[in-house]
Structure 1
Amino acid sequence: MAYAEVQLKNGTPCFSISEKEEARNGVPQISAVVLTDVSVKPAVKVWSFLLPGAATIPVHAKSCLLYGVAPATAEVKPPKAPPLKTGRMYDVFLNGGPADPSDPTRGYVGKFCLITGISGERKILRIDSDSQAWIDEICPEHSLIR
Structure 2
Amino acid sequence: MEQKAYWAIKELNFDATLFGEKRLLQLNELDEFRLQAYESSCLYKEKTKRWHGKMILKKYFKIGDKVLLFNSRFKLFPGKLRSKWSGPYTVTNITKLGSIGVMTTNGEKFKVNGHRLKIYHENAINGVVEEVFLELPSLEN
- Give the TM-score, by structure 1 length: 0.22
Q: Which has the larger radius of gyration?
A: 2
Scaled by the length of structure 2, the TM-score of the pair is 0.23
Structure ranking higher on relative contact order (CA contacts 8 Å, 6+ apart):
1
Q: Going by fraction, where is strand more abundant, 1 or 2?
A: 1
